[in-house]
Structure 1
Amino acid sequence: MGPKRAMRGRGRGGERARERSRRRLAAGAAVAVLATLGMALSGCTSDSKNATAAIHAYPSVVAIGDSIMKGHGLNADEAWPALMAQQNGWRLDNLACDGAGFLAIGDDADCGETFAGLVARAVALHPRTIVIEGSSNDVGKSDRDLKSETIKQLAQLRAALPDVQIIGLSTVWNDTAVPAQLADIDQQVRTAVEKVGGRFLEIGQPLSGHTEWMQSDDVHPTAAGQLAIYAAVQTAFRKAGLRA
């Protein structure tokens, strides 16, 4: 009886030892898995932080304007907002539309809406800065209606995006004499922009007298003309101490 009991005792002790060994191995494996998971999560957090930092390093800018701002007849990267974006490190959404204005409806083949529609699209993008320019497409419209609509659209923009930086620009004409109403349009944009706490920049008429900078339609600037507008806007930004 004694030897048998001794053998059973040694058997139980061996089983317990093996069980302890299995538990130690399982615990070690769990620690290894948790450590690996922690490293992976740490890497994800680091990547997320880096991605967020990259987003904030390149401010998002939305441009609202007409065919001159769009770069009609040219490649998209030749338009002056694209040149500004490249020079200043912006993430740009150029919503400018052929034929559009505060009252003028854009071409059906493009946006088919006034700046009000572009403002709504801009709001959905939640940019840091919005650059909005007066449009020669509004020449001939009622000044009273234009003023009312311009103020309304800027107020809607501010209400939807209370923290966005709003920068208004004067209207660009072609190489010929500037119509008198353009001064009224610029004043309306200035009033509306400043009313919502934005900044208005007068950029002059960079295309004036330069027939060589105009496309064959004598309305839209060539790539060289876009460069001239870019230089005027960049200079106005610098003098005003503005950044996106």
Structure 2
Amino acid sequence: MDTDSRTLRVVLVNPNTNSATTTMMTELAQQSAVSAQITVEAATVNYGPGMIIEPTALAESANAVVERIAQRVDAGALDAVIVSAIGDPGRDELADCLDIPVVGIGQAAILEASAGGRPYAMATTTHELAGSLRDLVHHYGCEENFLGVYLTESAPLELASNPQAQDEELRAATEEAVAAGAQAVIIAGGPLSETARRLRETTDALIVEPIPAAMARVERLLGS
């Protein structure tokens, strides 16, 4: 990494209010960092739902993300921000007002999965966000080889409390995407990272984890 020897501070902001999820995602981001110079800090928004599962909550969380990062900027310098919800709420607004890299986990996952014109898809538990995820693909100009959003049968809150069922249903959604021609499948949700790692062992498709993808993009941007 082409930087000086100081510690690089990357803030991972969780757009929902579940601090346990923030801790899990921050630890994963830190583990994914290649450079020993990077320290990932956790930030949880001050208000909003504990889990974003529908479009209104996703849209409203953008303000909470911007306000939380404004508080962190006031507290001291930082080098990059990761917005750690698959819909990237507040990412565009932060990118417009900060002169540091601001990476959304949805953005990073989409760019990684679609690289080289590879056909790709998403698998997720959040049924009501399927339209928002398709819009995000269009927003980043990566719709040409996108094969769609594949959903679990059960609802997200039900699966969040049943990891085994979550694994099984996301595996089925992933297999459906692969059968449709996907060579890469994004497991669309920051809290779904453990399931994504297990899915890698059961499919020949590239399984894209949004948080490691975001950290890789941050490191490339900081290195430039």
Q: Do both share a fold (TM > 0.5)?
A: no
Normalising TM by the smaller chain, what interval?
Answer: 0.3 to 0.5
Higher helix share: 1
| TM-score normalised by structure 2 residue count | 0.45
Structure with larger Rg: 1
| TM-score normalised by structure 1 residue count | 0.42
Higher strand share: 2
